[in-house]
Amino acid sequence: MTNAASLNPPFGRALCAMVTPFTGSGALDLDGAQRLAAWLVGHGCDGLVLSGTTGESPTTSDAEKAELVTAVREAVGDRASVVAGVGTSDTRHTAELARSAEKAGADGVLVVSPYYSRPPQDALEAHFLEVADACGLPVMLYDIPGRTGTRIEPETLLRLAAHPRIVAVKDCSYDFLGAQKVLARTELAYYAGCDEHNLALYAVGGAGYVSTVANVVPEQLRAVLDLFDAGDTGAATALQQRATELIELTMAAGLPGAVTAKALLGDLGLPAGPVRPPLRPAGRETVKGLRAAYERLVG
């Protein structure tokens, strides 16, 4: 079967896992969030994912999460989809956050596997079904076992795909075969959650990406997909390869992506602010390395 979601992705193709800007004192910076959201959409993002891993969701309150959705919705209007991260380790709390995101104006919710408790697959399936039934928004499942300790197994995804509101997966499983298996047998829209997989997953029927690196180079990452769609696969490959250095420094250099993305955003004069503890800011040498890789990519 041809995965129809790859032809008409539910949240767009080029999604940014947006950082959550804070003021110098660590308060939520809603003005900065609106300015950053508008800049991202103006430079190629057709969707924004809020309060995910890069959005420092473990350190923002329920009220802040809702305020962020409302502010970003106001800033981007109908020019981009707004997907709200609502996943927690508590099913009831996750369902409450899903309903709150719907009231705040989100177009969809991102639901990560419950972390720390490591539920077995039947309990994991029940968790996602309860959250999907809790509100009227479409659901993007977030499979990132390296952080949660629990994989959403392909067989579980095949069953969950039967729910009418479970429409997408953000894939950080590093199981390319498993992803292709689900793509081939369902209509789930698969979004690369690891920037090094953006083009590879797209080439086998993925819907696009949910990218941390898009915070700083939204145009370049969008261009990879556009070139592929235009049939210039060689140029798409070359641009993806050129982005590899910045992807590695942002995502695989020993610091969380929220730290590195905020560091580079700040250096570029874009809204970001500090990270909240327990995260700590990047050192000056790290920032210099990120900026140099950025210049090589965009220059």
- 209 catalytic per annotation: no
The arithmetic mean of pLDDT across residues 24-34, rounded, is 97
We report the CATH number of the domain holding residue 144 as 3.20.20.70
Does the annotation mark 262 as catalytic?
Answer: no
Q: Give the integer Cα–Cα distance in Å for 271 and 216.
A: 11
Domain of residue 105 covers 11-230
Report if residue 16 sits inside a domain.
yes
Amino acid identity for residue 87 in this structure: G
The answer to whether residue 38 sits within a structural domain is yes
pLDDT band at 104 (very low <50, low <70, confident <90, very high): very high
Task: Report if residue 112 sits inside a domain.
Answer: yes
The per-residue pLDDT for range 217-249, each reduced to its tens digit, is: 999 999 999 999 999 999 999 999 999 999 999
Instruction: Tell me if 244 is assigned to some domain.
Output: no
What pTM was computed for the model? 0.96
Residue 293 has pLDDT above 70, yes or no: yes
Reply yes or no on whether the pLDDT at 19 is more than 50.
yes
Q: How many CA atoms lie within 13 A of 37 on its CB side?
A: 29
Closest-CA residue to 65 (of 46, 80, 91, 85): 85
Residue 221 lies in a domain: yes
Q: Is residue 208 part of a domain?
A: yes
Alpha carbons 141 and 182: distance in angstroms, whole number: 13
pLDDT of residue 8: 86
Which member of 65, 115, 116, 170 is catalytic? Answer: 170
CB within 8 A of 268, min separation 6: which ones? 216, 291, 294
Instruction: Specify the pLDDT at position 79.
Output: 98
Catalytic hit among 65, 142, 209, 262: 142
Work out how many domains the chain is built from and give that number.
1
Tell me: pLDDT of 2 over 60.
no
**Does residue 3 have a pLDDT over 80?**
no
- Cis peptide preceding 138, ω within 30 of 0: no
- Let me know if residue 2 belongs to a domain: no
- Give bridge partners of residue 189 from the DSSP assignment: 168
| 297 occurs within a structural domain | no
Mean pLDDT taken over the chain:
96
Q: What is the mean pLDDT of residues 76-105?
A: 98
